[in-house]
């Protein structure tokens, strides 16, 4: 890749290294300059630009990032569209993040152009939690480096999620003379809450004296409940392998696998096994809802990850959880929300009268399928969800055309009053937890799910990209992605102008995505436009 200042006469096909703003032009960093762009820059008096020009063997940043991220993607992980050289990986299940740290290091040492950053191994994640980001630093990476990274990532699952599986848990609590039952009630409540957070359940609880034989008896009797995990909460902390809890487990026929762990709090955890199922002697800190060593073990068991003495002995790095004077306890503070994929819904506007067409264009067939069905199918190919279709004119016919598709409908009884009424109806039908919405016209069957995903990948209000608009050769088109923060303003618009006033008011928050073709500009308002559009559609 060649990088530097070049004459505007040689700039076609080059990628802008710095944005250019002059005389109404606003070309952002990373834009690949077309012949029309070069002509516009020349007309504005621009004679040189800082740009990158690809050479043989260069892989464009988005392509390189996507290839490496796709190779790194393991089970229960989804990949976002690449944007500005970045491809993010997100969890699709509630479970533990499994990261092959040594191979992450291998990839990061291939070349400075390729980087991959992840969350910590064994972090608990939810669906849509961010797991990793692959970032290509320059505008292109060399093919040999990309191939080496892909090969390293593809050796075995590099980044995956082990989902929590519901486990049947038995809790055995021991008592000493004079111990209040309320203390055991509290312990049981905390343990039940821990299990529930991982999708499991304490299905049976027994209480017995803090005595070897009584503990053994309780373990044997609990076997009738077919536990997958047995927890023994001693009234007194276990201090030796011959103490009451481990001795009771052995007397019941179990085997002690490991005592102690390099995690504080949690040092006095005991790992044992009976009939192939794990038994955990709980440390005293397990009665606290705060994170401790017991959580590290229970999470892995609920994610069906085998736990061995070597695994426990490897938990020391990062295992100091106890509050110390020089380091405030982060567990006492409200943790920052983990990065996650934005939840983007879609509104498909299908309520119009098609007055210039002479009939309802949305129901007219294109290559054997109604136009509205082709548009909705394109949206369904994207990651936008849920999809709300706004009906008005020919309500029953539109719903019939979309039968068996994963969309919901909301009816706009005031559709004759203009586009703004359909927008208002669509926004009102969205769930409260969406971060933004794609607004798609029903007569855009040439738009693809891939182009919508590119818009979603670009969406980042924190970085000033709160309204995403596709553009082709400098002309803005549809669909448009709006952050939730603009929903109220859009709903306040009246007439047949849609959300254009909101876009104009917040132009500093608008980010243009360069479309691969003119499909983002296509509509079918007249018979001639419909005929032209039909030629762009593949069967």
Q: What percent of the chain has pLDDT over 90?
A: 68
Cα 412 from Cα 434, distance rounded (Å) = 21
**Does residue 325 have a pLDDT over 60?**
no
Q: Per-residue pLDDT averaged across 233-239, rounded?
A: 92
Report which of residues 210 and 3 the model is more confident about.
210
Note the pLDDT of residue 54: 87
Note the pLDDT of residue 531: 72
Structure confidence at residue 330 as a pLDDT band (50, 70, 90): very low
Query: Rg (Cα) of the chain, in Å, rounded?
Result: 30
89-148 residue pLDDT tens:
999 999 999 999 999 999 999 999 999 999 999 999 999 999 999 999 999 999 999 999
Which position has the token pair 């047949």? 496
Q: What's the whole-number average pLDDT of the chain?
A: 90
CATH numbers and ranges of domains, the chain: 2-53 (3.90.105.10), 58-162 (3.90.1170.30), 168-322 (3.40.980.10), 344-534 (3.90.550.10)
Largest CA distance in the chain: 92
209-219 residue pLDDT tens:
999 999 999 99
DSSP symbols for 73-109: B-TTEEEPPPBTTEEEEEE-SSEEEEE-HHHHHHHHT
pTM of the model: 0.83
261-308 residue pLDDT tens:
999 999 999 999 999 999 999 999 999 999 999 999 999 999 999 999
Q: Name which of 18-27, 408-417, 481-490 the model is least confident about.
A: 18-27
Note the pLDDT of residue 420: 92
DSSP symbols for 355-402: TTTSS-GGGSEETTEEHHHHHHHHHHTSS--SEEEEEBTBHHHHHHHT
Cα 262 from Cα 230, distance rounded (Å) = 22
Note the pLDDT of residue 107: 98
Cα 474 from Cα 26, distance rounded (Å) = 9
Cα 178 from Cα 322, distance rounded (Å) = 30
Q: Is the four-CA dihedral 501, 506, 508, 513 of positive or negative sign?
A: negative
Note the pLDDT of residue 332: 43
71-97 residue pLDDT tens:
999 999 999 999 989 999 999 999 999
């Amino acid at each position: 890749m060649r990088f530097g200042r070049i004459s505007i006469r040689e700039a076609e096909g080059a990628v802008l290294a710095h944005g250019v703003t002059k005389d109404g032009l606003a070309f952002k960093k990373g834009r690949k300059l077309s012949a029309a762009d070069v002509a516009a820059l020349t007309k504005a008096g621009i004679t040189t630009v800082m740009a990158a020009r690809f050479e043989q063997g260069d892989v464009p940043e988005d392509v390189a990032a996507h290839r490496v991220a796709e190779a790194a993607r393991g089970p229960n992980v989804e990949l976002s569209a690449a944007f500005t050289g970045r491809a993010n990986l997100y969890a699709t299940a509630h479970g533990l993040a499994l990261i092959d740290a040594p191979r992450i290091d291998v990839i990061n040492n291939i070349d400075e152009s390729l980087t991959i950053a992840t969350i910590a191994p064994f972090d608990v994640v939810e669906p849509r939690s961010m797991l990793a980001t692959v970032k290509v630093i320059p505008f292109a990476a060399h093919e040999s480096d990309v191939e080496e990274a892909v090969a390293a990532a593809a050796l075995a699952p590099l980044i995956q999620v082990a989902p929590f599986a519901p486990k049947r848990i038995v809790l055995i609590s021991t008592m000493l003379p004079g111990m209040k039952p309320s203390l055991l009630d509290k312990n049981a409540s905390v343990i039940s809450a821990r299990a529930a957070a991982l999708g499991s359940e304490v299905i049976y609880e027994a209480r017995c004296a803090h005595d070897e034989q009584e503990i053994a008896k309780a373990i044997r009797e609990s076997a009738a409940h077919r536990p997958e995990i047995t927890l023994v909460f001693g009234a007194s902390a276990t201090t030796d392998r011959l103490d009451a809890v481990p001795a009771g487990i052995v007397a019941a026929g179990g085997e002690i696998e490991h005592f102690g762990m390099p995690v504080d709090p949690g040092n006095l955890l005991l790992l044992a096994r009976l009939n192939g199922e794990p038994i955990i002697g709980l440390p005293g800190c397990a009665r606290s809802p705060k994170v401790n060593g017991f959580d590290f073990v229970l999470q892995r068991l609920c994610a069906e990850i085998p736990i061995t003495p070597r695994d426990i002995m490897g938990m020391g790095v990062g295992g100091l959880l106890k509050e110390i004077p020089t380091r405030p306890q982060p567990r006492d503070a409200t943790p920052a929300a983990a990065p996650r994929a934005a939840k983007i819904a879609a509104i498909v506007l299908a309520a119009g009268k098609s007055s210039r067409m002479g009939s309802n264009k949305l129901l007219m067939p294109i290559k054997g399928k109604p136009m509205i069905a082709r548009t909705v199918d394109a949206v369904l190919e994207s990651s936008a969800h849920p999809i709300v279709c706004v009906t008005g004119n020919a309500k029953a016919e539109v719903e019939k055309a979309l039968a068996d598709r994963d969309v919901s409908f909301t009816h706009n009884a005031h559709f004759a009053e203009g586009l703004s009424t359909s927008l208002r109806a669509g926004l009102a039908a969205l769930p409260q937890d969406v971060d933004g919405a794609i607004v798609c016209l029903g007569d855009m069957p040439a738009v693809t799910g891939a182009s919508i995903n590119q818009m979603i990948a670009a969406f980042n209000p924190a970085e000033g990209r709160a309204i995403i608009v596709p553009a082709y050769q400098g002309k803005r088109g549809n669909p448009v992605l709006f952050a939730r923060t603009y929903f109220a303003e859009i709903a306040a618009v009246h007439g047949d102008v849609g959300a254009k006033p909101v876009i104009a008011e917040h132009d500093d928050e608008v980010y243009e995505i360069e479309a691969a073709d003119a499909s983002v500009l296509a509509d079918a308002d007249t018979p001639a436009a419909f005929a032209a559009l039909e030629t762009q559609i593949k069967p």
